């Protein structure tokens, strides 16, 4: 188990997707990877405990390589594209960039609103074929746009919460065009239950998830433009105003920058903007990506490594935090905070 003081709020356990049961109590990872770093994977657990290896191990390997995945129906996505006056993140965008600028970003990234928590935002993962793989639901503080982490980390996933009818996408070996079939089930999605600490836990789900980069749907608008990838969706959205010469996308987390997600970037120049504490990890990942996707060129931007303060490292700042800090200071001086 992680030794940090946040373990009751940030430790996520792995689930056996066939039985719906958690693995051992110490099999999981701390969401504070940049501070804590604890991660005990199922692979490590089964290697150390061969007697616990599940009977469906071969099936799990096949599933991880499958080209089949589910998508969120367009009707559900459309139903979230309203209520922005009650959305903490969109209202913060309006304060930073004005109503017109906020609307531009909302439409560009198809930012949704969720009632899962009052004021919550949905960052839809929309692929290059306009298929919605899933959506990350997050709650931000309306004052400074920091994530709400008390009394628990407010993150949930749309594919675990929405509807009962999904569409399954199947790509052929050419992967040039998607083929849709409708799949209906009485209980496709899991239910969420809350632990005493407020953490969200799931039971088994039939939803076949295959994540993509946030903002992937923007690639087709300009096939030659340089891509920039940040860790968080918030960072990508705000950075697209300050540094508009890139197509801004997000990996979703420090660990979210994967070869599978990045294959869509073949032939592109890609600049990586990790959080200040993730530079070593993303430099290693960039080398792997350049090796595995040779037609792309992945470059790590080193802006944040230039004299970061101890406070910057404690906060785990990214490239957008400085701009937000400057805005907050400006508003404070103007008496708007």
**What's the whole-number mean pLDDT along residues 165-189?**
36
pLDDT at 122 over 60: yes
Per-residue pLDDT band at 131 (split at 50, 70, 90): very high
Looking only at the bridges linking them, the beta strands covering 11-13 and 28-30 are antiparallel
Q: Are 47 and 21 in contact (CB under 8 A)?
A: no
Q: What does the block give as tokens for 39?
A: 């991660």
Looking only at the bridges linking them, the beta strands covering 297-300 and 269-273 are parallel
Question: What DSSP element (H or E) covers 96?
Answer: helix 88-109
Cβ count near 234 (within 10 Å):
24
Q: What does the block give as tokens for 319?
A: 């490239």
pLDDT tens figures, 203-233 = 335 788 899 999 999 999 999 999 999 999 9
**What's the whole-number mean pLDDT along residues 162-186?**
38
Q: What is the pLDDT of residue 311?
A: 85
Q: Which residues pair with 271 in a beta bridge?
A: 228, 299
Q: What is the pLDDT of residue 170?
A: 29
Which of 270, 286, 279, 282 minimizes the C-alpha distance to 317?
279
Q: What is the pLDDT of residue 221?
A: 94
The number of residues making up the chain comes to 337
Q: What is the pLDDT of residue 247?
A: 98
Q: Are 124 and 79 in contact (CB under 8 A)?
A: no
Phi-psi label, residue 110: left if phi above 0, alpha if psi -120 to 50, beta otherwise: left
Q: What does the block give as tokens for 162?
A: 């929405």
For the chain, helix (H) and strand (E) counts, in that order, are 11, 16
Q: What is the pLDDT of residue 27?
A: 80
Question: What DSSP element (H or E) covers 300?
Answer: strand 297-300
pLDDT at 53 over 80: no
Which residues have C-beta within 8 Å of that of residue 144, sequence separation ≥ 6?
324, 328
pTM of structure: 0.73
């Amino acid at each position: 188990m992680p030794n940090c003081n946040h373990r009751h709020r940030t430790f996520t356990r792995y689930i056996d997707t066939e039985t719906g049961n958690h693995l051992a109590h110490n099999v999981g990872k701390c969401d504070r990877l940049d501070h804590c770093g604890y991660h005990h994977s199922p692979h490590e657990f089964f290697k150390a405990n061969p007697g616990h290896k599940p009977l469906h191990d071969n099936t799990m390997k096949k599933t991880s390589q499958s080209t089949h995945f589910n998508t969120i129906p367009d009707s559900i996505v459309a139903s979230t594209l309203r209520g922005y006056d009650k959305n903490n993140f969109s209202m913060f965008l309006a304060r930073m960039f004005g109503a017109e600028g906020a609307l531009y970003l909302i439409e560009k990234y198809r930012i949704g609103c969720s009632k899962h928590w009052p004021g919550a935002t949905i960052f839809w993962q929309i692929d290059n074929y306009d298929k919605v793989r899933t959506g990350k639901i997050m709650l931000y503080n309306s004052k400074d746009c920091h994530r709400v982490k008390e009394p628990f980390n407010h993150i949930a996933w749309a594919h675990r919460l929405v509807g009962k009818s999904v569409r399954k996408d199947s790509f052929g070996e050419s992967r040039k065009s998607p083929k849709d079939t409708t799949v209906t089930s009485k209980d496709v999605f899991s239910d969420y239950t809350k632990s005493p600490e407020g953490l969200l836990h799931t039971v088994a789900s039939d939803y076949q998830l295959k994540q993509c980069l946030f903002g992937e749907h923007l690639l087709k608008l300009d096939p030659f433009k340089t891509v920039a990838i940040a860790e968080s969706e918030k960072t990508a959205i705000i950075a697209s105003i300050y540094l508009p010469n890139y197509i801004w996308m997000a990996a979703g987390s420090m660990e979210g920058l994967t070869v599978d997600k990045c294959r869509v970037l073949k032939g592109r120049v890609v600049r990586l903007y990790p959080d200040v504490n993730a530079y070593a990890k993303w430099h290693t990942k960039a080398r792997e990506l350049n090796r595995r996707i040779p037609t792309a060129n992945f470059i790590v931007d080193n802006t944040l490594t230039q004299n970061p303060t101890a406070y910057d490292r404690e906060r785990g700042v990214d490239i957008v935090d400085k701009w937000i800090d400057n805005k907050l200071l400006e508003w404070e001086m103007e008496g708007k905070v």
